[in-house]
A and B are shown apart, each in its own frame.
Chain A
């Protein structure tokens, strides 16, 4: 299993367009991917689901922990991290 931590720096946070991009990218991977917000391990979010991503209500400054397990786990966490760092190509 791989995991990375990343801070949301784009203005919109994970709303609207960024959420749908995040979801689309996650969907490309076969691995089982999970996201946790601000160190809360009790609430697991599914990045392949747009409803789950939106329901996070993640705003600028929130910290995301992304974990992946499966054949493409390395690539999955790297790409998702980069996406957040690049502010979803804003």
Chain B
């Protein structure tokens, strides 16, 4: 059966009737008014009414969704109370005799165009808020019903061009089976709300509002982004099963929150998270992960005009360390260069940025910036269980050099009498084939390894996975990659150091059992996968998987390995 493909933004399966949320285009007429006082009174009344609605929405969202999401409505109230906006509208009414609807529309459009033109992402988004507040005001002025979504009588799948924060915050989980929008992506506001309410959702599905009508049936999958319009019996049955399986999974995984990641033969492993910014710690704590296996420090220097100061970095690392208490937090030093360019640093144009001056190579060329970061990490190390790791090491000298600079920074902190953890673990990422081959030598000089599979695969197979002509060659199941991983783990264990993995392979359901068998100690991933991987670990025994891993390593192709893993009865896939 034919299906449409959008972006899956919130996992889950939904089957149900369509509720087509048409954009209410509010018609505003420009009128010349006689009584300005009367018009201003209408304006004030509409503000009062809107404030009341926002207060209700705030309380509703606070209870159902969370404090962070509810804040949107507090911000909307501030816009309503804004002095300058009020004066602008008042002025248009009094001196230009415009009706309040027209005056408000004009004033708000002025702000919207200012904010939309800004470079800063945060400020750009404020245009959406102003638009949302203006619509609310206009509805109240014209007596248009607040929002159709609260009036839903039976459970539906909402289909819309886009959903505003006001729309999503009002969604009742019992009435909304899921939603599909034309606009937006994984990080848009409505997607975030959908995930926290656990409502399946698909975004970025062009022209869907033109392809369905009220009352049509839709079956969709919010993980894959597949949408079936008026599916046949067979497809409906298939989706019903899928939905049931998904719900069982959720229930099963939820029970594991407080269980340890321990194999059937009692080996305790660690399931940790990858994070990009301090706020991500919320989800790490929510899933009760064992630590942070990769803290990308990128966020600190992107979207800004200068390099982050030592103090700013220190505060970010300290916050994360404190919130994680005694659990480990592995901070990866700056991975700049490659595809990540910065406006305020002059990167020379390179023919092959992925083979060029990136990560540790860049830092060793800009020791001033590198030292600032090392100082910030060391100073934060007394506030929790911080470990440091260097990315993209490809030759031994780089590790020696990086460690030597770290020693220099420690020495100067000692001289200044500034406290830091003298025993902070120092590790390195293994993501180049050269480091993988020399793992036995590197293992003598670090406290741990973390295998970065995304880069390791791309460099081992010499494949750019974003290049459509060769991306089919990119595979974590390729035996060369798996042999390399085995080699790294064995070399580490011979020197009694631990090995983690922070690439996507660490949460690949088929690979987790193999990695358990190879002896991997720590699995680090997106918080969304934590409970599933914990479940995987608890279904398998290390001894049994050891034999499986040995068999896998004898196979010649990615396909053979994937097929073997799919059909092996000892491997439990949900």
Q: Which residues of chain A have a CB within 8 Å of any CB of chain B?
A: 11, 15-16, 20, 27, 46, 48-52, 54-55, 57, 59-61
Residues of A within 8 A of B306 (CB): 60-61
Quote the shortest CB–CB distance from A58 to chain B (angstroms): 10
Contact between chains at A57 and B120 (CB < 8 Å): yes
Q: Which residues of chain B have a CB within 8 Å of any CB of chain A?
A: 78-79, 82-85, 111, 114-115, 118-120, 122-123, 126, 130, 304-306, 308-309, 312
Q: Please name 8 pairs of A and B residues whose Cβ atoms are closer than 8 Å in the assembled complex, sorted by A.
A: A11-B309, A11-B312, A15-B120, A20-B78, A51-B79, A52-B82, A52-B84, A57-B119
Contact between chains at A46 and B83 (CB < 8 Å): yes
7 smallest CB-CB distances across A and B, nearest first, come from A49-B84, A52-B84, A49-B83, A46-B84, A55-B114, A48-B83, A51-B82
Residues of B within 8 A of A48 (CB): 83-84
Residues of A within 8 A of B83 (CB): 27, 46, 48-49
Residues of A within 8 A of B305 (CB): 59-61
Quote the shortest CB–CB distance from A11 to chain B (angstroms): 5
Contact between chains at B82 and A49 (CB < 8 Å): yes
Chain B residue with the shortest CB-CB distance to A55: B114
Residues of A within 8 A of B82 (CB): 49-52
Contact between chains at A57 and B118 (CB < 8 Å): yes
Residues of B within 8 A of A49 (CB): 82-85
- CA distance in complex: A57, B312 (Å): 21
Contact between chains at A51 and B118 (CB < 8 Å): no
Tell me whether A11 and B308 are in contact in the complex, defined as CB-CB below 8 angstroms, given that A49-B85, A55-B115 are known contacts.
Answer: yes
- CA distance in complex: A16, B129 (Å): 13
- CA distance in complex: A46, B130 (Å): 18
- CA distance in complex: A57, B114 (Å): 10
Contact between chains at B85 and A54 (CB < 8 Å): no
Contact between chains at A55 and B111 (CB < 8 Å): yes
Residues of B within 8 A of A55 (CB): 111, 114-115
Quote the shortest CB–CB distance from B102 to chain A (angstroms): 19
- CA distance in complex: A48, B111 (Å): 16
* Inter-chain pairs besides A51-B79, A61-B306, 16 sampled, C-beta below 8 Å: A11-B309, A11-B312, A15-B120, A15-B123, A16-B122, A46-B83, A48-B83, A48-B84, A50-B78, A51-B85, A51-B111, A51-B130, A54-B115, A54-B126, A57-B123, A60-B306
Contact between chains at A15 and B122 (CB < 8 Å): yes
Quote the shortest CB–CB distance from A78 to chain B (angstroms): 22
- CA distance in complex: A51, B390 (Å): 43
- CA distance in complex: A49, B84 (Å): 5
Residues of B within 8 A of A15 (CB): 120, 122-123
- CA distance in complex: A11, B90 (Å): 36
- CA distance in complex: A68, B521 (Å): 63
Residues of A within 8 A of B79 (CB): 50-51
Chain B residue with the shortest CB-CB distance to A23: B78
- CA distance in complex: A56, B476 (Å): 48
Chain A residue with the shortest CB-CB distance to B79: A51
Residues of A within 8 A of B78 (CB): 20, 50
- CA distance in complex: A51, B304 (Å): 21
Chain A residue with the shortest CB-CB distance to B81: A50
- CA distance in complex: A76, B429 (Å): 53
Residues of A within 8 A of B118 (CB): 57
- CA distance in complex: A48, B78 (Å): 11
Quote the shortest CB–CB distance from B309 to chain A (angstroms): 7
Quote the shortest CB–CB distance from A36 to chain B (angstroms): 15
Chain A residue with the shortest CB-CB distance to B305: A59
Quote the shortest CB–CB distance from B77 to chain A (angstroms): 11
Residues of B within 8 A of A52 (CB): 82, 84
Residues of B within 8 A of A46 (CB): 83-84
- CA distance in complex: A55, B309 (Å): 26
- CA distance in complex: A54, B130 (Å): 12
Quote the shortest CB–CB distance from A14 to chain B (angstroms): 10
Residues of B within 8 A of A59 (CB): 120, 305
- CA distance in complex: A87, B126 (Å): 23
Residues of B within 8 A of A54 (CB): 115, 123, 126
- CA distance in complex: A55, B306 (Å): 21
Quote the shortest CB–CB distance from B50 to chain A (angstroms): 16
Residues of A within 8 A of B114 (CB): 55
